[in-house]
Amino acid sequence: MASIYKRGKTWTANVSIMNGKTRIRKTMSGFATKRDATIWANDIEFKKQNKQISTKDALFIDEFKDWYTVFKEPQLETATKVWYKTTTNLLTRKWPDKKIDSVTTKDFQILLNDYGDTHVKSSVLKIKNIIRSFVIFAMDDGLIAKDFARNITTRSKVKSKDADLKFLELNEMKNLVNRIRYNESVSCKMILTAVYSGLRFSEITGLTPDDFDFKNNTISVNKSWQMQDQAFKDTKTETSNRIITMPDSYMDLAKKWTLGSRFAFEGDNGKPISNNAVNKRLRYYLDMDNSTPITFHGLRHTHASYLLSQDIAIQYVSERLGHSDVNITLSVYAHLLDKKRIEETAATIKLLNAI
């Protein structure tokens, strides 16, 4: 079965071909019209039926590009697309001739090890997660038989300087909340929302007045606002569509706020204020108490870290954050979980010694 789709200003066609029990694709891009792409696809289908076409194994990079074009590119945020392009460039450099059914766990581990020599761990994790998503698709689609990305570890020789990976300690979080609780600025309302909800910046800027349910004390997350495109977009993943239960203390304050007409939190121009503007206001209040310098995204980490430190189940925290997989939550907050594990070990030994 052939598939025809538009990519930018040109058309692409691909045809599925069975090679024994494995399905591969033959793809051609750059057609000026859909008709041209259809003619090419029909020709390939004819040759396939008459066994006039090669069924050699497909290249990993070719299949990865097709997967991105068909399944990812149409629904991704502009900022997220950068990471897929980075992954594509890495695979093009490292695995230009690698057949999709010949990649091993060792190959993938070496790829990430090499990347970790010159990049921070958070970047290595992004590359790993993107390729792992493709591998799962490729298994479901019959392109590969084994999940070679399952038992992969990540490490980095480059120390992270990214403030986003930091979070506030409990006393710092309370100091921040006390300073901005009754502040009427849009920035402070957004900061307070992030502390209590763990929402992403794009999710908070995408909130509208109708997303606040004061009867049930919930906030509905069903879209995001993309600053680069100045448009509403879908949430980052399907699981990011969620309803967040909020505490009474927050909702009692929010009831008194004057929300915007289109956006819940909008500036004087009728649109959400920028990440940079909110970060400046956040840093101002953090400096007043000599608190850990974090960015707005660090408030999301603060929210999750606090819940995990209070023994809230990681499955629930993952759902609240809108992560597509609990393994993402585990990888991001591994350092916290290790600390809790040490505490639990000590408590366990104490109990056992009392027998």
DSSP string covering 186-217, please? HHHHHHHHHHHH---HHHHHT--GGGEETTTT
- Secondary structure class of 236 (helix, strand, coil): coil
Q: What CA–CA distance (Å, rounded) separates 192 from 182? A: 10
pLDDT tens digits along 242-266: 999 999 999 999 999 999 999 999 9
Token match 């959400």: residue? Answer: 272
pLDDT band at 22 (very low <50, low <70, confident <90, very high): low
Four-point Cα dihedral 266, 270, 276, 279, nearest 10: -20
Residue 191 has a pLDDT of 98
Query: What is the percentage of the chain residues whose pLDDT exceeds 70?
Result: 93
Query: What is the percentage of the chain residues whose pLDDT exceeds 90?
Result: 53
Token match 């091993």: residue? Answer: 104
Amino acid found at 298: G
* N-term to C-term CA, the chain: 67
pLDDT band at 196 (very low <50, low <70, confident <90, very high): very high
- Secondary structure class of 12 (helix, strand, coil): strand
- Contact partners, residue 197, CB within 8 Å, separation at least 6: 204, 219, 244, 246, 303
Residue 20 has a pLDDT of 62
Token pair for 153? 């570890």
pLDDT tens digits along 269-306: 999 999 999 999 999 999 999 999 999 999 999 999 89
Token pair for 325? 């997989």
- Contact partners, residue 24, CB within 8 Å, separation at least 6: 16, 17, 18, 55, 56, 57, 58, 63, 100, 143
Q: What is the mean pLDDT of the chain?
A: 87
Per-residue b or e along 18-41, where b marks 16 or more CB atoms closer than 10 Å to that residue's CB:
eeeebebbbbebebeeeebbeebb
**Stretch 218-230: mean pLDDT:** 90
pLDDT band at 55 (very low <50, low <70, confident <90, very high): very low
DSSP code per residue over 27-93: EEEEESSHHHHHHHHHHHHHHHHTT-S--PPPBHHHHHHHHIIIIIGGGS-HHHHHHHHHHHHHHHH
Stretch among 47-56, 293-302, 318-327 having the lowest mean pLDDT: 47-56
pLDDT tens digits along 107-139: 999 999 999 999 988 899 999 999 999 999 888
- Secondary structure class of 270 (helix, strand, coil): coil
**Stretch 29-57: mean pLDDT:** 74
Pairing relationship of beta strands 242-245 and 218-221 according to DSSP bridges: antiparallel
Residue 185 pLDDT more than 70?
Answer: yes
pLDDT tens digits along 73-112: 887 777 788 899 999 999 999 999 998 888 999 999 999 9
Stretch among 142-156, 159-173, 302-316 having the lowest mean pLDDT: 159-173
Residue 31 pLDDT more than 90?
Answer: no
